[in-house]
Amino acid sequence: MNRIRKSDGGEQRAGRARRFAALVRKESYQIVRDPSSILIAFVLPLILLFLFGYGVSLDTTRTRVGLVVEEVTPLTRDLAASFQASRYFAVVNGNDRREFEDDLVLGRVRGILVIPARFAADHAAGRHPAVQVIVDGSDPNTANFVQNYAQGTVANWERQRFTEGVGRSPAIAAEQRFWFNPELTSRNFLVPGSIAIVMTLVGTLLTSLVVAREWERGTMEAMMATPVSAAELLAGKLLPYFILGLTSMTLCVLLAVFLFGVPFRGSVAALYALSATFLMPALGQGLLISAATKNQFLASQLALITAFLPAFLLSGFLFEINSMPTVIQWITFIVPARYLIPSLQTVFLSGDIWPMFARAIAVMLLIGSVFFALAARSTRKRIG
């Protein structure tokens, strides 16, 4: 009866190892048998990856614009041809800007390019001629894009005429600054970024759900009334989901490289070092949420709002952190995904830059240890 209590350290260690193994085994059975774990760990990542691989693209190629040439001269015809040849525009020709006004409002064209009647005259007089660009200001991204690319096309055209010896030197030095590197399609950095989102789903959402489920079903209470310790309970939860997170990540990387053709220039070691570290804060946050709520519905809401959305919006994944308001920028410092995403993008697109990785790893470990400390505090062997 009292053997385990009187026993020496070796036997206690053996008991601990056996309990831990039993918990890990139980959790693994549950993962394999529960369709919702498979859904979150494998199906959802696939959907996300396909969405970012095929569906969402931040590149805008071939934007439809209306082109109005108010006075046809050899010069304006030449410029118009230059617009038509552009790989950024699908040009619809018209005679009057009013023809396109409705189209612009309805979004059938994204902008109206007007080569004004005085273009040729200005050009002949040596004034810098202007092309009017009318865009829909309610969609600022596209508006900016059309405006910039239109300017770029004009500048190109001027430079080309100059080199061909028919034009004069461009009036202003054409400092060409395209927003998106035409060589680098957005998929190449969206896919690595989405891997961070996937690990957030597994690490935080799934973990918080399964722990909360144990509270709801009363199994947590039954386990706590056995000799198992709180630390064993936590560790028994973490290891399976840690492995599941890495498996899910591996699946995503394989898809990214072999299906989407995203380059992989860094090392596998760096990839796993970064991902494994990222799972620390992700799992810690999941445990903390479930220990605090003990309810699956609340846990999923909290996980979505405090982990999934920040990983999406505040990590630099979709939105540039530098262009956020200062206060929001401060908040991003506690979002672990913000450290992982640039490093992952670097692993994929540039190669290993260890000083950068080391810093990211250090910060993620720091955030992770805070979460773990809080989670351990709230997962005592006590109820109510």
Partner 1 sequence: MTPAPDVAPFVRLTGVTKRFGAPAPALDAVDGTIAGGRITGLVGPDGAGKTTLIRLMTGLMLPDAGTVEVLGYDTRTDPASIQAAIGYMPQRFGLYEDLSVQENLDLYADLRGLPTDERTATFGELLEFTDLKRFTTRLAGKLSGGMKQKLGLACALLRKPRLLLLDEPGVGVDPISRRDLWKMVEDLTAEGIGVVWSTAYLEEAEACDHVFLFNQGRLLFTGRPQDMTERVEDRVFRVSGIEGRRREKLARLLDDEGVVDGVIQGEAIRLVMKAGLEPPSLAGNGAATAWRADVTPPRFEDAFVDMLGGGPGGRSRLAETQRTFAANEGKAVIEARGLTKRFGDFTAADNITFDIPRGQIFGLLGPNGAGKSTTFKMLCGLLKPTAGEGRVAGFDLRRDAAAARNRLGYMAQKFSLYGDLSVTQNLNFFAGVYGLSGAKSRERIELMTEIFDFRPIHDMSAKDLPLGLKQRLALACAVLHEPEVLFLDEPTSGVDPITRREFWTHINGLVEKGVTVLVTTHFMDEAEYCDRISLIYRGRSIALGSPDEMKKRVANRDLPDPTMEDAFIALVQGSEAKEAA
- The residues that touch partner 1, with contacts defined as CB under 8 A, are 1-2, 4-6, 15, 18-19, 21-23, 25-26, 29-30, 33-34, 217-219, 221-228, 381-384
CB of 235 to partner 1, least distance (A): 14
Distance CA 4, CA 11 (A): 8
What is the DSSP code string of 242-302? HHHHHHHHHHHHHHHHHTS-----S-HHHHHHHHHHHHHHHHHHHHHHHHHH--HHHHHHH
CB of 47 to partner 1, least distance (A): 24
CB nearer to partner 1: give 200 or 290. Answer: 290
CB nearer to partner 1: give 87 or 382. Answer: 382
CB nearer to partner 1: give 34 or 101. Answer: 34
CB of 207 to partner 1, least distance (A): 17
CB of 11 to partner 1, least distance (A): 9
Distance CA 143, CA 147 (A): 6
CB of 208 to partner 1, least distance (A): 18
Give whole-number Cα distances, 209 to 40, 192, 249, 280, in Å: 11, 25, 19, 17
Tokens of 381: 């062997």
Distance CA 66, CA 77 (A): 15
- Three-state SS annotation for 323-376: HCCHHHHHHHCCCCHHHHHHHHHHHHHCCCCHHHHHHHHHHHHHHHHHHHHHHH
Neighbours of 157 (CB within 10 A): 22
Tokens of 60: 């805008």
Give whole-number Cα distances, 352 to 266, 268, 269, 275, in Å: 5, 10, 9, 14
Distance CA 243, CA 272 (A): 11
CB of 101 to partner 1, least distance (A): 51
CB nearer to partner 1: give 238 or 341. Answer: 238
CB of 202 to partner 1, least distance (A): 18
Tokens of 155: 């500048």
CB nearer to partner 1: give 163 or 226. Answer: 226
Tokens of 166: 């028919």
Query: CA nearest 265: which of 255, 253, 276?
Result: 253
CB nearer to partner 1: give 21 or 268. Answer: 21
Query: CA nearest 280: which of 203, 380, 193?
Result: 203
Q: For residues 176 and 155, is the Cβ–Cβ distance under 8 A?
A: yes
CB of 37 to partner 1, least distance (A): 10
CB nearer to partner 1: give 23 or 280. Answer: 23
CB of 24 to partner 1, least distance (A): 11
Residues in the chain, total:
384
CB nearer to partner 1: give 235 or 321. Answer: 235
CB nearer to partner 1: give 23 or 75. Answer: 23
CB nearer to partner 1: give 185 or 295. Answer: 295
Instruction: Give Cβ neighbours of residue 335 (< 8 Å, ≥ 6 apart).
Output: 310, 311, 314, 315
CB of 381 to partner 1, least distance (A): 7
